[in-house]
Amino acid sequence: MKLELYRIKFSYAEFRNLPEDEQLFAVQLAQIANDLRHVFYQTLAAENGVHFGSSDERKLALHQLLFAVRLIHSTFHEGWKIINERWNGQVSAKAWYPRLSDKGRNALAYLREYFGKENLSRRIQNEFGFHYPAETLRKPIEHLPAERPAEIITGKRSSNVFYTFAEQVRALALLQAVQKRQAPNVWDEKASKKEIEAAAIDLCHAYRPVRNAFDAFINDFLVAILKSLQPESETFSPRETTRLASTRPVLFVEES
């Protein structure tokens, strides 16, 4: 059975008739949505990879999963800055808020509450997004298990080099970042296996309600924009589709 999709078309000329700030906001929101969509699929593929294959393959898949999670939270952080600045500044919220559905309004309220206080997205963006601060790594390095050797995986070419020991450090630092204030450090003997597993689940799944809120608000606003542009729609079917449940990440590659 072929997948049926819809191609929605609108006039660039009509789009350019919108106030410039609304044009910019629509483009920025669409870019945020596209980035979140792409990295979300990377996350799903990596999460599948964590549960299959050899221990070496699972190590690489875990790195890709944590990398994707870092990207997601960083995109949240930057995306909210755009929404907060433009919605409350250049874009007329009074004009557009009534055009949102209840779902879109609730999503906006959720995002305001989430980003209005200390949150995981801000912390991951500031400490792990595209940053390599020494301070977050010192304690994890001190508490690497002495009974296990450090490890690097390599092939004949650089395409298969993976510095396992460095990701062990970062994984510990990331797990510590999601620990509750009163909880023991993940490397502490007092930390139970259950507490560490709970931290891992929080790290890999806590982004989902935030992502749903971004999707709901962005889709709602862009639908409202589209309705003002008299769009046309046509159906099409892609040649290939991907089954998400069986998608695997790229781990080791041929060296020919």
The predicted pLDDT at position 251 comes to: 93
Which ranges of 86-207 would DSSP assign to H, the alpha helix?
93-96, 102-115, 120-124, 135-142, 164-178, 193-205
Q: Could you tell me which residues come within 8 angstroms of residue 46 by beta carbon, excluding any fewer than 6 positions away?
A: 61, 62, 64, 65, 67, 68, 249
Q: Would you state the pLDDT for residue 88?
A: 73
Residue 179's pLDDT is 79
Q: Is the model's pTM score more than 0.95?
A: no
pLDDT in tens, the chain (256 residues): 789 999 999 999 999 999 998 999 999 999 999 999 999 999 999 999 998 889 999 999 999 999 999 999 999 999 999 999 988 776 777 788 899 999 999 999 999 999 999 999 999 999 998 889 899 999 999 988 888 899 999 999 899 999 999 999 999 899 888 877 777 777 777 777 777 777 888 888 889 999 999 999 999 999 999 999 999 999 999 999 999 998 999 999 998 7
Q: Are 162 and 153 in contact (CB under 8 A)?
A: yes
The domain locations on the chain are: 5-129+208-238
